[in-house]
């Protein structure tokens, strides 16, 4: 069975950056299960897997625009510490939910602390990076009606309700 829209796909993968550093991997765990065409994985990888089948192995380089987007300096802001009510200890790397420019919620990461100033970054940590995936397709099947309705795969390697 070929990977196409509305198929349940399981993959083993290792994700590296341009320096060859491993960023993420399914090694030692369950394969990643996703619903093809539902936006469960980055668009560049999803496009590369279209038409492949169980047992296929491939290496895919995905440019930033087809991964987590280009890095945007506009998503970096300096906020006062008083904006973080109830947070006793502030540390670089902490993440918070914040209102985005479009009114929706986004995650921001504390990048720097400077006195009463907190510099936060709303970019995804992998924004602006070319990503390389070494992938082995473990299985491809028809998604269930419930998985299609929910927009994601259930069970091992997928979503748990």
CATH, residue 78: 2.40.10.330
Average pLDDT rounded to a whole number, residues 60-75: 96
The reported pLDDT for the residue numbered 160 is: 52
CA–CA distance, 52 with 6 (Å, rounded to integer): 14
pTM recorded for the entire structure: 0.83
User: Do both 115 and 133 map to the same domain?
Assistant: no
Segments forming the whole domain that contains residue 41: 7-68+127-150
The reported pLDDT for the residue numbered 147 is: 94
Structure tokens at 66: 């087809």
Q: Report how far Cα 31 is from the mean position of its chain's Cα atoms.
A: 15
User: Do both 31 and 55 map to the same domain?
Assistant: yes
Q: Is residue 33 part of a domain?
A: yes
CA–CA distance, 115 with 135 (Å, rounded to integer): 45
Structural domain tally of the chain?
2
């Amino acid at each position: 069975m070929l990977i196409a829209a509305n198929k349940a796909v399981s993959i083993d993968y290792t994700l590296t950056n341009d320096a060859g550093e491993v960023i993420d991997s399914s090694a030692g765990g369950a394969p990643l299960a996703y619903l093809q065409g539902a936006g469960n994985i980055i668009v560049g990888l999803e496009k590369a897997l279209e038409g492949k089948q169980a047992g296929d192995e491939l290496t895919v380089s995905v440019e930033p625009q087809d991964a987590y987007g280009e890095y945007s300096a506009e998503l970096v802001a300096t906020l006062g510490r008083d904006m973080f009510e109830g947070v006793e200890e502030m540390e670089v790397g902490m993440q918070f939910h914040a209102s985005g420019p479009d009114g929706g919620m986004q995650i921001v990461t504390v990048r720097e602390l400077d006195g009463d100033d907190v510099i936060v970054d709303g970019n995804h940590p992998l924004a602006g990076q070319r990503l390389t995936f070494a992938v082995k397709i473990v299985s491809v099947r028809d998604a269930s009606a419930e998985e299609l309705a929910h927009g994601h795969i259930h069970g091992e390697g997928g979503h748990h309700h």
